Amino acid sequence: MKKIKLIKKHSHKSSLWLNRHINDEFLLKSKLEGFRSRSSFKLIQIDNKFKIFNQNKLNILDLGCAPGGWLQVIKRLTNYKKSKILGIDKLIIKDINGINFLQRDIFENKTIEEINNFFGEKIDILLSDMSPNTSGNRSVDHLKIVSLIESVLDVSELFLKKNGFFVCKIFQGGAQGELMDRISKIFKSIKYFKPQASRKESPETYIIAKKK
């Protein structure tokens, strides 16, 4: 594929970023395939390796789902008409036919009640591709990351069934010590995976595990 060259003058640093962004392989592929974000390919690659969508009928919860790229993948890879699928985010997303969306702060008590009312039973898959808003202060950002993952773990303990799949974004240095101890108590078959669609310079990776 022929690369696009920028004509307008920018600083060297911003030009590098813009060129990388414009010529990003997975950004271009996402547009070609109708996905809302390049992160859709992260979930596709996770499923290719771990086969998380391997049942006919599934209860699936996608936390922090905006703009909806992972929900699009779920619809393509599952029998969504027989499954219960719910995406939640504080940001509104465009409707995806056959997929349920709740605009809500994920960790409010009311949201937990609505998740319970929607499924009415334990869920098979819990997904989280969430990232905290960063400040640039490593110590502060580390605490934000840990707090976010702790909250996702709270939801997993409430709703994920035994042997249910847990897929959660973490960051280098963001899952250590007490947090890892807690993860090991909740889950088994814990794997770490960095999809090809994750940028090399990004500190993100994913935990893929099963509930004990």
CATH number, domain with residue 162: 3.40.50.150
Residue 4 has pLDDT above 90, yes or no: no
With respect to residue 10, please indicate whether it lies within any of the assigned structural domains. no
Structural domain boundaries enclosing 134: 36-211
Q: If you average pLDDT over residues 75-85, what whole number do you get?
A: 96
- Kindly list the catalytic residues: 169
Asked whether residue 72 is domain-assigned, the answer is yes
* pLDDT level of residue 32 (50, 70, 90 thresholds): confident
- Is 190 a residue whose pLDDT tops 80? yes
Q: Is residue 194 part of a domain?
A: yes
Count of the separate structural domains present in the chain: 1
Instruction: Please name the residue that has the structure tokens 């969306």.
Output: 101
Residue 199 has pLDDT above 90, yes or no: no
For residue range 144-185, what is the model confidence (pLDDT) as tens digits?
Answer: 888 899 999 999 999 999 999 999 998 876 556 788 899 999
- Secondary structure in 3-state letters for 134-202: CCCCHHHHHHHHHHHHHHHHHHHHHHEEEEEEEEEEEECCCCCCHHHHHHHHHEEEEEEECCCCCCCCC
pLDDT at 187 over 80: yes
Domain assignment present for residue 18? The answer is no
Q: Indicate whether 130 belongs to any domain.
A: yes
Q: Is residue 125 part of a domain?
A: yes
Calculate the average pLDDT of the chain. 86
Q: What is the pTM of this model?
A: 0.85
- Over 70: is that where the pLDDT of 197 sits? yes
In a domain, residue 13? The reply is no
Cβ atoms of residues 167 and 127 within 8 Å: yes
> Does residue 158 lie within any of the structural domains?
yes
